[in-house]
Amino acid sequence: MQARRTGAAPAPRTTLATAVRFTLEELAARNEGNSVEVRIPPFGVTQCIAGPRHTRGTPPNVVEADPEAWLEVAVGETDFAAALAAGRMSASGTRADLTAVTPLFDAAELFPS
């Protein structure tokens, strides 16, 4: 069962920025590589997922989301496919599916006993 933030006040901008940067670092650490670029403007970007390295111009595999949508996917509050279907995330390229690598944390990591 997933915990929900029903009725929670919006997080301060600095907290949101820190959470986005942390989860992007965690995504890259758990899924080393440079074939997919994940962009969460205005707070951060990372490259991850093993495969062909991209070095110049627009990357062929890009995932982009607003900070709130990204954090919901990162912690499992929303799954990647649902965020895409709702238009809260965009993904282009054959490797830009983060379904297998999200959520980043399991329940034990989020809610230790």
Domain boundaries, given as residue ranges, for the chain: 13-110
Q: How does strand 44-48 pair with strand 36-40?
A: antiparallel
Strand segments (E) across the chain:
36-40, 44-48, 62-65, 89-92
DSSP state for residue 12 in the 8-state scheme: P
Fold classified for 13-110 = Nonspecific Lipid-transfer Protein; Chain A (3.30.1050)
| CB 79 within 8 Å of CB 54 | no
For residue 43, give the nearest of 22, 21, 27, 59 by alpha carbon: 21
Distance CA(73)–CA(58), nearest Å, equals 24
Distance CA(41)–CA(44), nearest Å, equals 6
- Write out pLDDT tens, residues 49-78: 998 876 677 778 999 999 999 999 999 999
pTM of the model: 0.86
Mean pLDDT confidence for 18-37: 96
| pLDDT score at 10 | 84
